Every structure is written in C-alpha cells, then in structure tokens.
C-alpha cells in the first residue's frame, strides 16, 4: 500500500500524537503518583513540574492548530515544531516522573527505615523499662525481705527480754511472797502467844479489879462518912471565912477613907509600894488589879472607897 502524501501523513501523525499526548501525560502522572502513599516535599515538587510540562504541551498543541490564511507548508512546519516540542515535553515529563518515582521510593524507604528505627527504639525502651521494673521489683522484694527479717529478729529479741524480765519479776515476787508468808506466820504465832498472855493478864486484872472495887467501895463508904463530918465543919469554916472577908473589906475601906481624910489627899496611898496596894485592892475585890500599874491601883482603890 503506497504511503499517502507526505504533508498529509505528517498532519495525521501530528494529530494522532496530539490526541494521545493528554492520555500519555495522565499515565505519567498516575505512574508518578502511584508509589508515594504519603508524598513528601520532593514528590510534590516533581508533580508540580510534571503539571507545568503538561500545560506547556497543551500550549504547543494549541500553537500547532491550523490558523486561517496560512499555507500548508507553514502549518506543517508549525505542526512539526509543535510535535518536536511535544516530544521534548513528553521526554521531560517522563524523566520528571521517573525522578519523582525515585524520590517517592526513597521517601518510602526513608519512612520505612524511620518506622523500623522507631519500632526498634520502642522495643528497646520497652525492654529497658521492663528490665528496670524487674530490677526495682527485685530490689523492693529484697528490701522487704530484709525489713521482715530485721523486724522478726527485733520482735523475737523483745519477746526474749520480756520473758526474762517477767521470769525475774515472778521469781522475785514469789520470794517476797514466801518471805511475807513466813513473817506472817511468825506474827500469827507471836500474836497467839500474846493473846494467851493477854487473856491470862486479863483474868488476873479482873480478879485484881474486883478486889480493888471491893476495897474502893469500903474506902468510899468510910470516906463518905468522913466527908459528911467534914462537910459540916466546912460549912462552919465557910461562914467564918465570909465574916472574915466582910470584916477585912470593911477595914480596908476604913483604911482607905482614913488615908483620904489625911493631909496630901493621896499621899498616904503613894507611900505604899505596889505589893501593898495589890493586897489592899484584893481586900476590896478590885477586878483586873494584877495588870494595873501603881498609879492605876491608887486610882482604882480611891474609886472603890468612894463607892
């Protein structure tokens, strides 16, 4: 089959390439975006560059479109130039997509290595934490066991000391109780002896008391008789003493009056000493005379003589 006209063939090829370029660009973009699940800065830059190149390809296609009034050769030249530009753009887009894919794969590898490192660090940290916790538990268990042993030993020592002290106190109390019992028994024996002796003495005393009572009764009867006799004599003595006191008081008053009637007023009383004044004050029964001075006695005797 003979080839068609060169110009028409070129135009057809240009049209075919132009129709296929958008789908090729979309395929390149999908291939560039497929490996990177989480695109990083490099992937985003490659995507932006690919999109820019696609826009340039569209512009080249637009420039290759027929323009009214141009010749076929001019249009072919424009189409050929546009096809070449499109080819270069496609090559650049493919190169950019490959670079983007490489960067995306590298980013994926870096992310996987980072996740693996994080996992290792997490595992190491978990193992270290578990180890430290286990060591802390062992140390705590050992400390608790030491504290338990020390507490038990201390408690046993305290119990032993308490038992020894209790035994010593019990023995001492028993010895004291035994001594007190022996002493009490001695006291009981002595009290029994003294009680018997006291009963004997009480009996003897009772006999003596009875004899003394009989003798006292006899003597009392005799004394009663003598007292009756002496009472009569005493009444006579009392009457005589009363008469003597009255006579003495009268004589004392007369003496005082005579002294007052003499020259110098109180001169005669002043010549007496204090004992003589006390005797004179007693004869006329002056109260409080023993505590008076000589001048007070003179004054009291004068007052009594006036009365």
pLDDT in tens, 241-282: 666 666 666 666 666 565 555 444 445 677 888 888 888 888
| Mean of pLDDT over the chain | 76
Q: How far apart are CA 10 and CA 158, in angstroms?
A: 116
177, part of any domain = no
- In a domain? residue 85: yes
Nearest C-alpha neighbor of 301 from the set 255, 263, 240: 255
CB burial string 198-210: b at 16+ within 10 A, e below:
eeeeeeeeeeeee
Closest residue by Cα to residue 90 from 41, 45, 27, 151: 27
pLDDT at 49: 67
Report yes or no on 232 lying in a domain.
Answer: no
Q: For the segment 137-174, what is each residue's pLDDT rounded down to a tens digit?
A: 999 999 999 999 999 898 999 999 999 999 999 999 99
Lowest-pLDDT choice from 124-128, 143-147, 183-187, 302-306 = 302-306
Torsion of CA 153, 155, 157, 158, to 10 degrees: 160
Domain final residue, candidates 116, 136, 156: 136
Is 102 a domain residue? Answer: yes
For residue 291, being part of any structural domain is answered with: yes
82 neighbors 60 (Cβ within 8 angstroms): yes
Domain, as residue range, for 266: 262-306
Residue 89 has pLDDT above 60, yes or no: yes
Q: What is the pLDDT of residue 100?
A: 84
* CATH code of the domain in which 31 resides: 1.20.140
- Residue scoring higher pLDDT (41 or 95): 95
| Higher-confidence position of 56 and 135 | 135
* Angstrom distance (rounded) from CA 304 to CA 281: 9
Q: Which of the listed residues 113, 136, 159 is the one where a domain comes to its end?
A: 136
Of 223, 304, 293, the closest CA to residue 259 belongs to 304
What is the distance between the alpha carbons of residues 249 and 255, in angstroms, rounded to a whole number?
Answer: 10
Asked if 294 contacts 276 with a C-beta cutoff of 8 angstroms, the reply is: no
Domain boundary (136, 164, 191) is at 136
Q: Does residue 80 sit within a domain?
A: yes
> Cα–Cα distances in Å, from 20 out to 24, 58, 75, 83, 285?
6, 12, 20, 12, 176
Query: For residue 99, is it within any domain?
Result: yes
For the chain, what is the domain count?
Answer: 2
Asked, for residue 127, whether it belongs to a domain, the answer is: yes
């Amino acid at each position: 089959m003979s080839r068609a006209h060169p110009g028409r063939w070129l135009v057809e090829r240009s049209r075919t390439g132009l129709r296929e370029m958008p789908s090729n660009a979309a395929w390149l973009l999908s291939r560039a975006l497929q490996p990177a699940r989480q695109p990083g800065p490099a992937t985003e830059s490659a995507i932006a560059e690919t999109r820019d190149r696609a826009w340039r390809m569209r512009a080249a296609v637009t420039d290759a479109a027929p323009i009214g009034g141009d010749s076929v050769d001019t249009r072919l030249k424009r189409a050929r130039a546009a096809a070449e530009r499109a080819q270069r753009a496609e090559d650049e887009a493919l190169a950019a997509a490959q670079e983007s894919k490489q960067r995306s794969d590298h980013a994926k590898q870096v992310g996987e290595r980072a996740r693996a490192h994080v996992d290792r660090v997490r595992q190491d940290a978990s193992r270290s934490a578990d180890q430290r916790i286990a060591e802390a538990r062992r140390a705590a268990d050992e400390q608790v066991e030491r504290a338990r042993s020390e507490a038990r030993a201390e408690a046993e020592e305290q119990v032993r000391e308490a038992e020894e002290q209790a035994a010593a106190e019990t023995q001492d109390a028993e010895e004291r109780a035994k001594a007190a019992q022996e002493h009490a028994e001695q006291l009981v024996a002595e009290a029994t002896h003294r009680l018997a002796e006291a009963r004997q003495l009480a009996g003897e005393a009772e006999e003596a008391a009875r004899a003394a009572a009989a003798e006292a009764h006899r003597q009392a009867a005799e004394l009663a008789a003598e007292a009756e006799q002496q009472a009569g004599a005493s009444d006579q003595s009392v009457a005589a003493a009363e008469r003597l006191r009255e006579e003495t008081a009268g004589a004392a008053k007369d003496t005082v009056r005579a002294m007052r009637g003499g020259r110098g007023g109180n001169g005669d009383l002043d010549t007496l000493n204090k004992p003589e004044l006390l005797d004179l004050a007693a004869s006329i029964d002056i109260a409080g005379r023993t505590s008076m001075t000589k001048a007070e006695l003179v004054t009291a005797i004068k007052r009594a003589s006036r009365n």
